[in-house]
């Protein structure tokens, strides 16, 4: 017999010490979140902190409490900033205190959510069923919690590719001889993750047709229709149209009913990128904005954006569960299932996406939906839309601010306009203005280009924002703008 040294473990030698440390962490983090309004929305990581974080490989242990002290000194004070009530950059959710605690429970329980016979799988399936109902898709629609919108789009488009290619693409590959070019259509305002997915799936940019938008940033459906017809006539094979529920630039939603009708007519897969916009469906008041989403073959959305939950949580829904599973199933011998025991029933989650090993992100979703109730989320989503309209009103009312796009949802694009400033100067001024606002710590908007114009962009997926925060933003933009215009 092999002789073993005395056996080690990563469990603590003193559980009470770790318990005390855990209590301090809970206290500190809740204090951190309760007082976040008093801190800057963002600040750059100082050079001395950067230097301290450039540590050599830690071969020997450091007491857990000392590691935690370093976290508090060098990491916690320099967050992205999205926990702050005036962070509105890109589309980034806030996180919640209760979600944080749920994430701790998930990590401690640490299930492998491939869909063993365990409670975690039941919880995830339940959460998926709830979202199927909320978005109005038919019961039995398949789904999967994923890392976020990029992966959810990838899942939807992977199934679309395989289900509509017209040949066995899993076996033969996209390059199968004698097959036509496969085409995916989406508006020019579509999120870059769709292009990324099309590239990764082996279709290539030449397979992505970007359809222009009208002045409200919604897909020009007539152009879509004629593009499909032209491609068909040329012997190419349209397979999918991506509709947007809330574009990243302006929050525009395509005419999903019209897109759905075109897809039905031509037997195309209808995928909806609803990263944040899909959640508008939770509100009876906003639901008409995304009407037609219930006709999608697949929908991608995030729960860490407009559901405010901590990272990472996205969701992909796929109406045709057979097509869904057929895209991701691989069945090696070590995953063969038995009639009874822990693996009875197989590993359905692994057959709905890229991951085989999967964490329990479903727990924070399940606990948060129950603790807050769906209506609270709907109310907050409505509140963010109202705040966007409030900000748009402030902008419209101010002579030196210009609204640059319609505000159908929660995104406001605008700029400072000084008297007599020319286009190029305006762009440079607003660019500098944005950097100064971020550096001031007052607020974090981000930016985009709209018709070549540099726009300050405020995306409100923040449950901590109040009306006064938008007053402060408008005031600060004007102050900094005036100062820069006077230079």
DSSP-derived letter for residue 287 is G
Secondary structure class of 68 (helix, strand, coil): helix
| Identified binder of a second copy from the candidate list 69, 140, 166, 206, rule CB under 8 A | 206
Site for a second copy in 82-101 (CB under 8 A): 82-83, 89-90, 92, 94-101
CB atoms within 10 A of CB 378: 20
Interface residue with a second copy, options 38, 47, 58, 215 (CB under 8 A):
58
Nearest to 327 by CA among 164, 464, 479: 164
> In this complex, which beta carbon is closest to a second copy, that of residue 64 or of residue 288?
64
Residue 261 CB, shortest distance to a second copy, in Å, is 28
User: Is the CB of residue 21 less than 8 Å from the CB of residue 104?
Assistant: no
Please state, in angstroms and rounded to a whole number, the distance separating the CA atoms of residues 113 and 269.
29
Query: C-beta of 300: minimal distance to a second copy in Å?
Result: 12
Contacting a second copy within 381-410 (CB under 8 A): 383, 386-387, 389-390, 393-394, 397
Of 220, 231, 255, 312, the one binding a second copy by CB under 8 A: 312
The mark string for 110-129 relative to a second copy (x by CB under 8 A, - otherwise) is: xxxx--xxxxx-xx--x---
Q: Which of 39, 40, 136, 181 binds a second copy (CB under 8 A)?
A: 181
Which among 441, 444, 427 has a CA at the least distance from the CA of 481? 427
285 lines the binding site for a second copy (CB under 8 A): no
- Please identify which residue in 304, 319, 324, 415 interacts with a second copy, judged by CB under 8 A: 304
Q: Calculate the dihedral angle through the C-alpha atoms of 34, 38, 44, 47, rounding to the nearest 10 degrees.
A: -90
**Contact with a second copy (CB under 8 A) among 210, 379, 398, 402:** 379
Q: How many residues bind a second copy (CB under 8 A)?
A: 189
Taking the complex as a whole, how short is the minimal distance between the CB of residue 421 and a second copy, in angstroms?
19
Toward a second copy, which CB reaches closer, 134 or 258? 134
Helices (H), 256-311: 256-266
Structure tokens at 402: 């210009």
Give Cα 200 distance to the centre of its chain.
19
Determine if 133 is a binding residue for a second copy (CB under 8 A): yes
CA distance 15 to 121: 30
Binding of a second copy by 318 (CB under 8 A): no
By residue count, the chain amounts to: 487
DSSP 75-127: ITTS--STTSTTB-STT-----HHHHHHHHHHHHH----S--SSHHHHHHHHH
425 near a second copy (CB under 8 A): no
For residue 328, state whether it binds a second copy (rule: CB under 8 A). yes
- The b-or-e profile of 193-232 (16+ CB within 10 A means b, else e) is bbbebbeebebeeebbbbbebeeebbbbbebbbebbeebe
For a second copy, the closer of residues 225 and 384 by Cβ is 384
Interface of this chain with a second copy, residues 434 to 473, rule: CB under 8 A? 434-435, 438-439, 444, 446-449, 457, 463-467
Q: For residues 312 and 355, what is the distance between their CA atoms, to the nearest angstrom?
A: 14
- Stretch 247-276 residues interacting with a second copy (CB under 8 A): 248-249
Q: Does 63 bind a second copy (CB under 8 A)?
A: yes
With contacts defined by CB under 8 A, name the span among 254-262, 353-361, 398-406, 477-485 that binds a second copy.
353-361
The dihedral through the CA atoms of 163, 167, 171, 177 has a sign that is negative
Does residue number 108 form part of the binding site for a second copy (CB under 8 A)? yes
**Structure tokens that stand for 41 in this block:** 């929305």
Shortest separation between residue 23's beta carbon and a second copy, angstroms: 5
For position 137 contacting a second copy by CB under 8 A, the verdict is no
Compute the least distance from the CB of residue 461 to a second copy, in Å: 11
Whether 86 and 465 have beta carbons less than 8 Å apart is answered as yes
């Amino acid at each position: 017999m092999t002789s073993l040294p005395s056996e080690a473990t990563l469990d603590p030698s003193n559980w009470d010490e770790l318990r005390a440390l855990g209590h301090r962490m809970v206290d500190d983090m809740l204090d951190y979140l309760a007082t976040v309004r008093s801190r800057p929305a963002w600040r750059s990581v100082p050079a001395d902190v950067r230097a301290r974080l450039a540590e050599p490989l830690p071969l020997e242990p450091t007491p857990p409490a000392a590691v935690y002290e370093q976290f508090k000194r060098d990491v916690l004070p320099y967050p992205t900033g999205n926990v702050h009530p005036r962070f509105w950059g890109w589309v980034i959710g806030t996180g919640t205190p209760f979600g944080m605690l749920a994430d701790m429970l998930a990590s401690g329980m640490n299930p492998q959510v491939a869909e063993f016979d365990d409670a975690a799988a039941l919880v995830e399936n339940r959460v998926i069923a709830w979202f199927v109902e909320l978005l109005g898709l038919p019961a039995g629609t398949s789904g999967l919690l994923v890392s976020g919108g990029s992966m959810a789009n990838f899942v939807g488009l992977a199934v679309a590719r395989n289900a509509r290619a017209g040949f066995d693409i899993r076996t033969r590959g996209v390059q199968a001889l004698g097959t036509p070019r496969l085409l995916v259509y989406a508006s020019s305002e579509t999120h870059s993750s769709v292009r990324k997915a099309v590239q990764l799936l082996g279709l290539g940019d030449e397979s992505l047709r970007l359809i222009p938008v009208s002045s409200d940033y919604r897909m020009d459906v007539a152009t879509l229709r004629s593009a499909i017809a032209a491609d068909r006539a040329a012997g190419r094979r349209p397979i999918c149209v991506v509709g947007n529920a809330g574009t990243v630039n302006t929050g525009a939603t395509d005419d999903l009913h019209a897109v759905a009708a075109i897809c039905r007519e031509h037997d195309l897969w209808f995928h909806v990128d609803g990263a944040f916009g899909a959640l508008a469906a939770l509100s009876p008041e906003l639901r008409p904005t995304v009407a037609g989403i219930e006709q999608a073959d697949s929908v991608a959305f995030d729960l860490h954006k407009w559901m405010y939950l901590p990272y990472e949580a996205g969701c992909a829904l796929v109406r045709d569960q057979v097509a869904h599973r057929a895209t991701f199933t691989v069945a090696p011998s070590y995953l063969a299932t038995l009639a009874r025991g822990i693996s009875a029933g197989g590993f359905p989650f692994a057959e709905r996406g890229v991951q085989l090993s999967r964490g329990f992100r479903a727990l924070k979703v399940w606990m948060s939906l129950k603790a807050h109730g769906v209506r609270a989320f709907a109310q907050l989503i409505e509140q963010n839309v109202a705040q966007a309209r409030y900000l748009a009103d402030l902008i419209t009312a101010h002579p030196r601010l210009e609204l640059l796009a319609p505000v159908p949802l929660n995104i406001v694009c605008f700029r400072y306009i000084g008297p007599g400033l020319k286009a190029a100067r305006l762009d440079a001024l607003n660019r500098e203005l944005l950097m100064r606002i971020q550096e001031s710590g007052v607020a974090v908007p981000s930016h985009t280009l709209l018709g070549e114009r540099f726009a300050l962009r405020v995306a409100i997926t923040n449950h901590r924002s109040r009306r006064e925060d938008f007053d402060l933003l408008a005031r600060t933009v004007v102050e900094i703008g005036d100062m820069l215009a006077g230079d």
